[in-house]
Amino acid sequence: MKDQIFRQVIPEGYKFTFDESVAEVFDDMLHRSVPLYQEVNRMVVEISASFYQPQSVIYDLGCSTGAVLCSLSKTLTSSEPSLVGIDSSQAMISKASKLVSSLCPSAKIEFRCENILHTSVTDASVIIMNYTLQFIPLPLRQAFLDRLFEALRPGGILLLGEKVKASSKIIEELEVKFYEQFKKRNGYSEMEISQKRKALEEVLIPRSLEQNMDCLKQAGFAAVEVICKWYNFASFLAIKASEPNKI
Ligand SMILES: C[S@@+](CC[C@H](N)C(=O)[O-])C[C@H]1O[C@@H](n2cnc3c(N)ncnc32)[C@H](O)[C@@H]1O
């Protein structure tokens, strides 16, 4: 279904939430709002398959409609991985369960409707977290990343995708301008773009590329690399050393 949520006038002060109406149009919304969305997901699947360790768990935190886990289940056919998708929106989890049973019926994916800040994450070789950390309150992010690092096996990875802020005002303005042009090319009107921007204020809080890298290094990751960057969007691969002090 086409995303038309911000076509009508939205009440002043409305804050964006991942409710039923968003879940209904979510796939169209992400394809038209996140640059390189499909390519990043393809990369996430191939990198996850490279680092997956037998009998470990692959988590997708903020899994929304479960598309990435569905692709992963088709890629990792021989080893029957344990795939877990977690999202705090019941609407998203219901949509994910329906999509998976129609698009990849043989996949064994456990979906949990839980807050990722409080959910149990253990024995992981891969943790995927695309465009979700940006919704976690700033003061909680470092401790949360520290916990994900602990949940990973040695040699395990965190794949993180985020909207990012430029470190200078002039470049930030340029990136926002080109991002809005990207959305216009994808069929969103000025009104839709500005209403959504307002609805996301104080809800989606991006940090700079460097702040994200620093947080990942501080959590303990031995290697942290930007694997994709498009103006104000970035994806990171963070690897936990397989032996202490070794990568
Ligand atoms: C932008 S979407 C993520 C998109 C998805 N990872 C993808 O790449 O298609 C953010 C998702 O994170 C979920 N979310 C936000 N905060 C959360 C939290 N504290 N715990 C669990 N899920 C959360 C939202 O419900 C939403 O489905």
Helix orientation angle between 169-185 and 190-200, rounded to the nearest 10 degrees: 130
Q: Please name the residue whose Cα sits nearest to atom 18 of ligand 1.
A: 115
Q: Please name the residue whose Cα sits nearest to atom 13 of ligand 1.
A: 62
88 Cα to the center of ligand 1, angstroms: 7
Q: pTM here?
A: 0.97
What's the confidence (pLDDT) of residue 78?
73
Q: Say yes or no: CB of residue 162 within 6 Å of ligand 1.
A: no
Note whether 242 and 154 are within 8 A (CB).
Answer: yes
Phi, psi of 107 (to 5 degrees): -70, 140
Neighbours of 198 (CB within 10 A): 16
Mean pLDDT of all residues in 28-46: 98
- Rg over alpha carbons for the chain, rounded to the nearest Å, is 18
pLDDT tens track for 139-185: 999 999 999 999 999 999 999 999 999 999 999 999 999 999 999 99
pLDDT for residue 244 is more than 80 = no
Q: Say yes or no: CB of residue 204 within 6 Å of ligand 1.
A: no
Class of domain 20-239: alpha beta
Instruction: Return the domain boundaries, the chain.
Output: 20-239
pLDDT for residue 247 is more than 70 = no
pLDDT for residue 83 is more than 90 = yes
